[in-house]
Structure 1
Amino acid sequence: MDLSLAQSCVPSTFSPSLFGAEVLSLEANLVTNYSASVAEAFRYVAPAVTLDNVSFCNITIAYTHPGQNDHIVTEAWLPLDWNERFQAIGGGGWVAGRFFLTYGGMQGAIADGYATITTDAGLEDAQEPTPWALNSPGNVNLYNLQNTASVSLNDEAIIGKSLIKSFYGREPKYSYWNGCSNGGRQGLMIAQRYPDLYDGIAAGAPAVHWNELMPFSQWPQQLMNELGEYPYPCELDALSAAALAACDGLDGVVDGAVADQHACLAAFDPFSVVGKEVECAQTNGTRRAVSRAAAVVANATWHGHSAKKYYGGLVPGSDLTGILSIVQTSCNATGCVGVPSMLGGLWLQLFVAKDPAFDIGHLSREEFDGLVSSGRQQYASLVESADPDLRKFRDLGGKIVSFHGLADTVIPPGSTEEYYNAVAGVTPDIRDFFRYFEAPGLAHCFGGKSGQPNNLFQQLRDWVEEGTAPEKTPIKFNVGDNETQNRILCPYPQKAQYLASCGDAAMEKCWSCSGSENPAAAKRGEPRHLELR
């Protein structure tokens, strides 16, 4: 332990200055001999790690922007054994930071020697926005929304670097961002609006088109409400299984994962499954025919909202009924009811309608589409992180790595694909500073058949510090029966191809990246519009 640093872990060491803000309180506490095990799931792009007797200075700062009546808390951990680098950790869902996933990421960061930080954006640990969205019915708290959308991200970087300089006597050599989902959105927002804050950004499964994503996550529920029918999960599971069976081998490998969303949408017709009888756990194991309504809902979830602006829906074959699914129904032996999305339902209710009592369960299509349009008009400049002009970030030498699981059940992978293509349209040299990896079988940020790209953060660091761009990234792929294979992910638009002549799909060397490196070659033209039958 560096005793001089340990002795410096007192409030008087730190005097952060943030223009337009007033510090309300600052606490500094030395944490010694801290041990923990951090799962890969908490780190997104880095492997599992064990902390063993790590010591760090925990600094918690509360501040406000005078006149805005906000109260924001940032928390920094500064390890005594420092690697001279800074890694900020993003949030998830409605949460900006300072919750269990963020703390797992921070544990991983200090295990590797990084100084690290998180912010609650003034929302505390609210898992959903009801406590902070409205000042009163009809009046959105725009300061809170602005803080979580962007402002707190700039604040925490400035505060973090100030704390680092005060504690270690020097600035970090390199600064990084690491986040997934909302944390991925935060990373892209930083690159777009605050391009000088970080040298490298890891932005997994980003909620990039916020004003499209939110209503999309309510779209299956809206359609069920219009139909007046709510399919049993067993019907939706049968449709997912049929889609997987039809599309699994389209990439030349049968492995329980869909690797090409566009090819699968063209190859599989969900209405071909209507009438098929399946065993239904929700009706005590009796057999039930797959209804037309189930096919309509699945088809709509895969194709996206008919008023969409940017992208399609979930990849066919992904889980439509799991805990994070946007197609959830609650059932008993006599029938089912819909379960509104904690994302889209609350967004439309609190931020667009501005009324916690607003009934989202009885909207016409015209009313629903009107809310989508209204949300876009009101909030595009506030919360969107879809600006494709990253030239300032590029010119400052910044690098971005992103990934998106093709079995994501929350955020359509096509949204990241569309954003990457849009950036390429502005900067054709996109591969010089931005690489995106699609992961067949990976669920939302973690889970599913595919392992996370847990070498990608180190590859980002190598790119930033050594100039070595990631041409591929290794993963573990679960093929069943406790058997895993060593595979690769490739930078979009390339795809991993199995070399049959190599003879062993479990070996990384038997996989290579194929296809054009040019994103323009992968553009799909205009988004497909929903067809109901």
Structure 2
Amino acid sequence: MRNRIYSSTFLVLLFVLFLVIPVGQSAFGQDCTSLADLRIEDTNLLSATVVPASEDLPEYCRVLGYVRPAINFEVRLPTSQWNGKFFMAGCGGFCGKLESNNSRINAMNIGLKRNYAASTTDAGHWGETVFDGRWGLHNRVAEIDYGYRAVHETARVTKNIIESYYGNTAKYSYFMACSNGGRQANMEAWRYPEDFDGIISGCPALNLTELSVYTTWLATKNRGPDGKDLITPAETELARKAVYEACDGIDGIEDGLISDPGSCTFNPGSLACEHPDQADCLSQEQVAALRAFYQGPENSSGERLYPGGVPFGSEPYWELWITGETDEVSDGLASAISTNGLRYLVFEEDPGSTYPIEDFDFDRDPPRLEHMGKIFNADHPNLEAFRKHGGKMLMWQAWADAIVPPLGTIAYYNAVEKEVGNRQATQDFLRLYMIPGMDHCGILDGPGIMDDGFDPLTAMEKWVEQGQPPERLLTTKTDSTGAVQWTRPVCPYPQRAVYDGEGDVNEASNFKCINPNP
């Protein structure tokens, strides 16, 4: 009888204690605000505060700090119902911001919404925008932080904070990002193979120095003798119509998607004017610029300086990346990326703010970028340590990506497969998915899906935690109201999705994955 009374009293006390646990205290007893007093090597913690639940985010403990000298980070810890896992988001462009939800790709709130402990970093510097490279001027420490140190150090500190707050280590750790964030993803797998169990790398800017050559090529080849753009939105629309007319149906169905741009043989010369006063056609200078876009950068000997050029089918997105939004507002982001990269980042000795990108010499200058390539570039195909760790990598690439050409991503995958020596052994830990019609990172709406049109994280979770590799990714195209327009599978490269000839072409179930040239 006495034992029963003691047991009942104990349960009541537990219940009362539960009621008086301070807001922000974890289920393991650690108070959120006390995290600011943690002592972590080479780290300064600035604040730890509770943020109330809002919309689709749970209540969380927000921790701000920096790893010396200047890698700022933010950690968000669900105060209840933690799923036991860690999610880290990367950052796009030249970083420089602590952004939690700037997109549905480079955003730690993707993980927080699923009750992950989540974090992100500014990559070791501040920038006015993510295309601001001024922080790199004569600042090798900041360039190293951006190149490879910031993600690794933020992951280290986040894991320390997670263990302190929850009293337990994370069961699984995931990294997901796009563009420069994709570069960070591959850099992690190569340099720090034990940081993450699963890595999702989208449209990765793997070779940052070569990519600067590519963006410089786009920006300079589009300049006429008068300094004005040769290809404006008006000429882009001519090219778009002609390319889609020539290439849309090569996959057997005309559906507004170019499923395999590599099979397209569109000739820009077909748009050349036959007469000087002819309308709806291109001058010889404009045709030359268009050829240069699709061809990609070369030196005067015809040697390729990047694995490919602007893909056929990317024309709907040129206004952001190449031409500017209107005939009056020229210069897409390729010009800004090129200008900031050349002035402040990719040369061993930075030329500075007065350097005009027109001075870049495609014969002399590419070899001069090799020094910084050792800091920035993540196209190293030897991922053996990551594979032995048991890590899984899901890479995806937009086929209509005008700013990170898809052939570069394919070349990287092929190099890894060659390094491993066997396709099946490669795809046991690394798979690549080429997504038709999609803009870089799914930023702009167009023929393909946007960034919310597929769910690579769930696919990765099943692969890592249940041993189920993704045999296909489901992509969903919606309209402005959210209504589904079509669904399609995306297959592991080099397989491609082919309509089986029966049923609705807008239903993913009517497509199958086949190997090329069976």
TM-score for the superposition, normalised by structure 1:
0.82
Tell me, yes or no, if the aligned pair for 1:437 and 1:491 is still in contact at 8 Å. Answer: yes
1:97 to partner: Cα distance: 5.1
Kindly report which structure 2 residues correspond to 1:46-445, keeping only aligned pairs within 5 A, or say none: 50-51=56-57, 54-64=58-68, 70-80=69-79, 81-95=81-95, 98-99=98-99, 101=101, 105-127=107-129, 128-134=131-137, 140-225=138-223, 230-231=229-230, 232-264=232-264, 267-275=265-273, 287=279, 289-307=281-299, 308-319=304-315, 322-328=318-324, 331-332=327-328, 341-351=335-345, 352=347, 354-363=350-359, 367-375=361-369, 377-427=370-420, 428=422, 429-445=425-441
Residue 43 of structure 1 corresponds to none
- Secondary structure of 1:148's counterpart equals helix
Q: Does 1:9 find its partner at 2:32?
A: yes
Q: Secondary structure at the match of 1:408?
A: coil
Contact 2:381 2:416 in 1 (8 A): yes
Q: What letter matches 1:59 in structure 2?
A: V
Instruction: Kindly provide the amino acid, as one letter, of the partner of residue 473 in structure 1.
Output: L
- Inter-partner Cα distance in structure 2 for 1:340 and 1:390: 30
Q: Indicate how the Cα distance of structure 1 residues 469 and 277 shifts in structure 2: closer, same or farther if over 3 A, else same.
A: farther
- Alpha-carbon shift at residue 173 of structure 1 (Å): 0.2
Preserved contact between residue 320 and residue 326 of structure 1 (Cα < 8 Å)? no
> 2:394, 2:103 → 1: CA distance?
22
1:130-177: CA deviation from partner (whole Å, max 9, x where unpaired): 43121xxxxx21111110111111100100000000000000000000
Partner residue in 2 for 1:47: none
Deviation digits for residues 355-406 of structure 1 (CA, Å, limit 9, x no counterpart) = 3343425437xx243222211x221210000000001000110000111111
| Matched residue, 2:15 | none
- The 3-state SS of whatever aligns with 2:401 is coil
- The amino acid across from 2:499 in the alignment is Y
What code does the residue aligned with 1:5 have?
S
Cα displacement (A) at 1:251: 1.1
Kindly indicate whether the alpha-carbon contact (under 8 Å) linking 2:297 and 2:306 is maintained by their aligned counterparts in 1: no
What is the CA–CA distance in structure 2 between the aligned matches of 1:238 and 1:255, rounded to whole Å? 19
Amino acid at match of 2:426: I
- In structure 2, stretches of 5+ residues that fail to align are 1-17
Q: Give the partner amino acid of 1:247.
A: C
Q: CA deviation at 1:244?
A: 1.6
Q: In the TM superposition, what whole-angstrom CA distance separates every residue of 1:226-284 from its partner, at most 9, and x where no partner exists? A: 765632331132112211210111111211122222211xx2111111117999xxxxx
Shift of 1:300: 1.2
* Match status 1:469 vs 2:490: no
* Residue in structure 1 matched with residue 49 of structure 2 by the alignment: 29
Q: Deviations over 1:437-469 (max 9, x none)?
A: 001111111143222452321111111011100
Look up the SS of the partner of 2:175 in the other structure. Answer: strand
Contact 2:476/2:484 (<8 A) preserved = no
CA distance in 2, matches of 1:494, 1:156: 36
Supply the distance in 2 between the matched residues of 1:339 and 1:491 (Cα, whole angstroms): 30
Q: State the alpha-carbon separation in 2 of the partners of residues 201 and 270 from structure 1.
A: 39
Distance 1:336 1:73, change over 3 A: closer
Task: Tell me the equivalent position of 2:509.
Answer: 509
Structure 1 or 2: more strand by fraction? 1
Gaps in structure 1 of 5+ consecutive residues: 37-49, 65-69, 135-139, 280-285, 523-533
Distance 1:76 1:158 in 2: 12
The count of corresponding residues between Structure 1 and Structure 2 is 475
The code of the aligned residue for 1:152 comes to A
Match of 1:460 in 2: 460
Q: Is the 1:258–1:317 Cα contact (8 Å) retained in structure 2?
A: yes
Percent of pairs with identical residues = 28
Counterpart Cα distance in 1 of 2:133 and 2:405? 25
Deviation at 1:111, TM superposition (A): 1.3
* RMSD, aligned α-carbons: 2.9
Letter in 1 for 2:269: F
Aligned AA for 1:454?
F
**Is the Cα contact below 8 Å between 1:321 and 1:328 reproduced in 2?**
no
**Retained in 2: the 8 A contact 1:320–1:328?**
no
Distance 1:339 1:512, change over 3 A: closer
TM-score computed with the length of structure 2 as normaliser: 0.85
Q: Which moved more, 1:391-400 or 1:251-260?
A: 251-260
CA distance in 1, matches of 2:78, 2:434: 34
